[in-house]
Homo-oligomer: A and B are copies of this chain.
């Protein structure tokens, strides 16, 4: 079973964490049958932690886990903290394939998404005239 784990920074503001959880719920629906489970985890300031998030995937029966950093830039968190936490769980479960994919900000489609977002507002405004 293949799991997708969206990993966010976590915020002191509960609504921001809930926003990540809501996005994850939407992602679960959008993913359809592509993943047996879709969940989120937080580097700090919110639960579950990244190790706990991976643990839950394993307990749910995952033999393949894709960890997707929900970050816009490649700071220390993306470069060091997330991989370190993942490696610890990888050592604990060597039979599970756990891959950290490049962070969201590095996605090929980010430019097109930004341009679409900039344009969508203009379209909505024109439609209201």
Contact = CB atoms under 8 A, between A and B. Distances in A.
Interface string A98-110: 0101101101111
A94 interface: no
A56 to B, nearest CB: 17
A99 B121 contact: yes
A114 B121 CA distance: 22
A27 interface: yes
Number of this chain's copies in the assembly equals 2
Contacts of A110: 23, 113
Interface in A94-129: 99, 101-102, 104-105, 107-122, 125
Contacts of A27: 111, 114-115
